[in-house]
A and B are shown apart, each in its own frame.
Chain A
Amino acid sequence: MRAAFAVELLKLRRSRVMLATTLTVLLAPALLASAFASAAGQPGADPVTVKARAMLPGTGWEGYVSALAQVFATAGLVGMGFGVAWCFGREYADRTIVSLYASATPRTAIAAAKLVLLTLWAVSIAVVLGPTAVLIGLATGLGPPDADAVAALSRIVVLAMLTGLLALIVAIFASVGRGYLVAFGGLIGLVVAAQVAVLAGIGAWFPLSSPALWAMADPALGSVSGAQLALVPIASSAVALSTVAWWRRAPLD
């Protein structure tokens, strides 16, 4: 397991794909949320301003943090899912998977190392996301965040961690589909499923949508309990175990 962990860590550190994905997940949602919040605070009735006002509960930090929760709920899953798809699909795409057979390091160890490292990656993004969002808020002239904004940002940090766990589901798509394409298709399917669950009124019980509903804390969307949130790690752990089992048995044909 140590060798698998060391090798996978080296590959992640050297990967330009993962660097670009990390920066995108960290910066793009916050910048987009800032743009939305800024538009909502503008006078006038142009379409973007009207739409932003309708989406956000207010302006300033309240509007910015609400926009960030909404944007990250989807963009975070897409971005982190992209990273997971790359990590699990790349050996199939570039055929280096052949080198992982007939090896002293079992493929289960490789898959487990990938999952552990991707979880740590997601946690790192979540931890850095809070300060990054604050810096962007300060840079755009929102001033120091108040206590409500800090509480809402803390929820977004937890949302990012839970989203990272949900993104691990993409690993099984990349593994069974042996590459990126099925993984990206599966990722789109996850995003659509989350939206459908919310529209159907079962979002709080659906692991793919419950973290976003909890982070947005919008009474109109209903509340999410701790038990409902606990389904997220349970679901992602089940998929992670399935992925490892797949790597143990999957032949190359």
Chain B
Amino acid sequence: MSARGATPLRCDRLVKRFGDVTAIDRLDLHLDAGEVVALIGLNGAGKTTFMRLALAMIRPDGGTASVFGRNVATAGPDRWRAVGQMIETPFAYPELTVAENLWAAARLHGLSRSQAPGSVTWVIERLGLGGYADRRSSALSLGNRQRLGLASALVHSPRLLILDEPTSALDPAGVVLLRDLVQEAARTGAAVLVSSHHLDEVARVADRVEVIHRGRLVGELPPRGLDLEHAFFEMVRAADLDATESSALGGSSEEVH
């Protein structure tokens, strides 16, 4: 199957265990082109672990993840060049300037020597990093380091973008900028998966909001709903109640711990 036209991200019954703890429990998630999906959950719900599985950073104990139709375990450069990600730590080598970091990210993401400089100029301008282009990333504030990480994820115009807590260190202007960038990427056909604690922010940008709790997707919320926060906690509480009842009745063999 060719990369173009294939589902950008498809995860089927993914399972990941760390010792006795089932961090991801039979999780299914599909992302279509042009779709923005928000993944929300409490701390430790499994958001980052799921994203790491989807990007082949860790190996699943069950199930499969594929990008553009190819299992991530065997996906090659042709698939990964269409993927941008920012998980945990931004792409920011402290000894390099902002422009050099972005050039490095562009080259590693598959842009040629001739393509990279133009893309770096574009993304520096788009992320508002012009005043910092020649500054070492070690001298940046936390927020600007996060902008640099986002710029590194976007510099090659990916068709699948996976962002873990991208607004955690951004100022309000940065949050608005990120929202514009995500919507712009989706308009041009990119699929975007974003995790966040900021439910109001998620509501503004997502087409679909998936709730993850104890490693399982426990439901979907309407992003334009009246009280997303209330609905989220209701869903989490109901999931806990189900788990308790299931446990009292003997539980399943793959029960979430």
Contacts and interface: CB of A to CB of B under 8 A. Distances in A.
A96 B89 CA distance: 6
A96 to B, nearest CB: 6
A98 B96 contact: no
A103 B109 contact: yes
B80 A14 contact: no
Residue in A7, A96, A99, A252 with the greatest tally of chain B CB atoms within 10 Å: A99
Given A94-B94, A96-B89, A253-B18, A101 B108 contact: no
B100 interface: yes
B55 A102 contact: yes
Interface stretch (B56-64, B202-210, B216-224): B56-64
Contact of A104 (B52, B56, B77, B85): B77
A102 B92 contact: no
B93 A96 contact: yes
Interface in A1-20: 3-4, 6-7, 10-11, 14-16
Contact of B91 (A6, A96, A105): A96
A15 B93 CA distance: 10
Contact of B108 (A95, A100, A252, A253): A100
A251 B91 CA distance: 18
A222 interface: no
Interface residues of B, number: 35
A201 interface: no
B12 to A, nearest CB: 19
B240 interface: no
Give the contact-size bracket for chain A: 20 to 34
A106 interface: yes
Nearest to B156: A104
B89 A106 contact: no
Nearest to B87: A98
B59 A251 contact: yes
Interface in B91-111: 91-96, 100, 103-105, 107-110
B179 interface: no
B57 A98 contact: yes
Interface in A99-120: 99-106
B14 to A, nearest CB: 14
A134 B235 CA distance: 76
A217 to B, nearest CB: 41
Contacts of A14: 95-96, 100
Contacts of B109: 103-105
A106 B95 CA distance: 22
Contacts of A103: 80, 108-109
Nearest to B104: A7
A251 B16 CA distance: 13
A4 B108 contact: yes
Contacts of B18: 253
B167 interface: no
Contacts of B95: 11, 14-16
B135 interface: no
Contacts of B103: 10
Contacts of A7: 104, 107-108
Contacts of A104: 77, 80-81, 108-110, 156
A251 B72 CA distance: 13
A104 B162 CA distance: 15
Given A103-B80, A103-B109, A11 B93 contact: yes
A102 B83 contact: yes
B157 interface: no
B88 interface: yes
Nearest to B72: A102
A253 B58 CA distance: 6
A96 B92 contact: yes
Given A4-B108, A7-B104, A96-B91, A102 B57 contact: yes
- The 4 A-B pairs at the shortest CB distance, nearest first, are namely A104-B110, A104-B81, A95-B89, A99-B91
Interface of B: 18, 52, 55-59, 72, 77, 80-81, 83, 85, 87-96, 100, 103-105, 107-110, 113, 152, 156, 162
7 contacts: A6-B113, A14-B100, A101-B85, A102-B162, A104-B80, A105-B77, A252-B58
